[in-house]
Protein backbone atom coordinates (compact mmCIF):
# COMPACT_ATOMS: atom_id res chain seq x y z
CA UNK A 1 0.00 0.00 0.00
CA UNK A 2 1.26 3.47 -0.85
CA UNK A 3 0.79 4.69 2.72
CA UNK A 4 3.53 2.36 3.93
CA UNK A 5 5.90 3.55 1.21
CA UNK A 6 5.20 7.16 2.16
CA UNK A 7 5.75 6.27 5.83
CA UNK A 8 9.03 4.58 5.00
CA UNK A 9 10.26 7.67 3.11
CA UNK A 10 8.94 10.18 5.67
CA UNK A 11 12.40 11.55 6.45
CA UNK A 12 13.05 12.33 2.80
CA UNK A 13 9.68 14.09 2.50
CA UNK A 14 10.36 16.10 5.65
CA UNK A 15 13.83 17.05 4.38
CA UNK A 16 12.17 18.33 1.20
CA UNK A 17 9.75 20.43 3.26
CA UNK A 18 6.79 18.30 2.20
CA UNK A 19 3.82 17.51 4.43
CA UNK A 20 2.06 14.20 3.84
CA UNK A 21 -1.68 13.91 4.47
CA UNK A 22 -3.83 10.91 3.72
CA UNK A 23 -7.59 10.87 3.28
CA UNK A 24 -10.33 8.28 3.09
CA UNK A 25 -14.08 8.00 3.35
CA UNK A 26 -13.73 6.19 6.68
CA UNK A 27 -14.81 7.54 10.05
CA UNK A 28 -12.19 9.41 12.12
CA UNK A 29 -11.90 6.61 14.69
CA UNK A 30 -11.26 4.07 11.91
CA UNK A 31 -8.57 6.28 10.38
CA UNK A 32 -6.94 6.85 13.75
CA UNK A 33 -6.83 3.11 14.45
CA UNK A 34 -5.52 2.34 10.97
CA UNK A 35 -2.82 5.03 11.21
CA UNK A 36 -1.70 3.65 14.57
CA UNK A 37 -1.72 0.06 13.27
CA UNK A 38 0.44 1.08 10.27
CA UNK A 39 2.69 3.41 12.34
CA UNK A 40 1.94 6.32 10.03
CA UNK A 41 3.64 9.51 11.13
CA UNK A 42 1.17 11.53 9.08
CA UNK A 43 -2.48 12.35 9.54
CA UNK A 44 -5.31 10.52 7.83
CA UNK A 45 -8.23 12.83 7.17
CA UNK A 46 -11.81 11.60 7.13
CA UNK A 47 -13.99 12.63 4.22
CA UNK A 48 -17.13 10.90 5.43
CA UNK A 49 -19.50 13.02 3.33
CA UNK A 50 -17.16 12.58 0.30
CA UNK A 51 -17.23 16.29 -0.52
CA UNK A 52 -13.44 16.53 -0.82
CA UNK A 53 -13.48 13.29 -2.82
CA UNK A 54 -15.92 14.81 -5.30
CA UNK A 55 -13.86 17.98 -5.61
CA UNK A 56 -10.65 16.01 -6.17
CA UNK A 57 -12.49 13.65 -8.53
CA UNK A 58 -11.64 10.43 -6.66
CA UNK A 59 -15.16 9.12 -6.06
CA UNK A 60 -16.41 6.13 -7.99
CA UNK A 61 -19.83 5.72 -9.62
CA UNK A 62 -22.50 4.42 -7.22
CA UNK A 63 -22.85 1.23 -9.29
CA UNK A 64 -19.12 0.44 -8.98
CA UNK A 65 -18.50 -2.54 -6.72
CA UNK A 66 -15.82 -0.48 -4.95
CA UNK A 67 -17.92 2.70 -4.65
CA UNK A 68 -17.31 2.91 -0.92
CA UNK A 69 -13.59 3.41 -1.58
CA UNK A 70 -11.94 6.42 -3.24
CA UNK A 71 -9.83 6.00 -6.34
CA UNK A 72 -6.22 5.70 -5.20
CA UNK A 73 -4.65 8.99 -6.11
CA UNK A 74 -2.05 11.38 -4.75
CA UNK A 75 -1.75 15.09 -5.28
CA UNK A 76 1.46 17.09 -5.16
CA UNK A 77 0.33 20.54 -4.01
CA UNK A 78 2.68 23.50 -3.80
CA UNK A 79 2.83 25.94 -0.84
CA UNK A 80 0.35 28.25 -2.58
CA UNK A 81 -2.22 25.44 -2.84
CA UNK A 82 -1.76 24.79 -6.57
CA UNK A 83 -1.97 21.14 -7.62
CA UNK A 84 1.27 20.51 -9.50
CA UNK A 85 0.87 16.82 -10.19
CA UNK A 86 -1.84 14.18 -9.90
CA UNK A 87 -0.90 10.52 -9.55
CA UNK A 88 -3.18 7.57 -10.11
CA UNK A 89 -1.35 5.10 -7.93
CA UNK A 90 -0.56 1.97 -9.91
CA UNK A 91 3.04 1.33 -8.81
CA UNK A 92 2.68 1.19 -5.04
CA UNK A 93 6.33 0.28 -4.43
CA UNK A 94 7.68 3.12 -6.58
CA UNK A 95 5.08 5.76 -5.76
CA UNK A 96 6.93 7.55 -2.96
CA UNK A 97 10.12 7.74 -5.02
CA UNK A 98 8.22 9.14 -8.01
CA UNK A 99 6.66 11.85 -5.85
CA UNK A 100 10.03 12.71 -4.29
CA UNK A 101 11.61 12.99 -7.75
CA UNK A 102 8.85 15.28 -8.97
CA UNK A 103 9.07 17.33 -5.79
CA UNK A 104 12.82 17.78 -6.29
CA UNK A 105 12.30 18.79 -9.92
CA UNK A 106 9.68 21.36 -8.93
CA UNK A 107 11.96 22.80 -6.28
CA UNK A 108 14.77 23.18 -8.83
CA UNK A 109 12.60 25.05 -11.31
Which 3-state string (H, E, C) describes 38-54?
Answer: CCCCCEEEECCCCHHHH
Domain annotation for the chain: domains and CATH numbers? 2-108 (3.40.30.10)
Q: Tell me the pLDDT tens digit for each residue of 18-59.
A: 999 999 999 999 999 999 999 999 999 999 999 999 999 999
Helix, strand, or coil (residue 74): strand
DSSP string for 5-20: HHHHTHHHHHHTTPPP
**62 phi and psi angles, rounded to 5 deg:** -55, -35
Pairing of strands 83-88, 73-77: antiparallel
Q: Is residue 92 over pLDDT 80?
A: yes
Amino acid sequence: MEGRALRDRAEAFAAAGCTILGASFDMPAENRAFAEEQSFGFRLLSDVDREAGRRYEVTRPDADQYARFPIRASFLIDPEGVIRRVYTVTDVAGHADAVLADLAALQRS
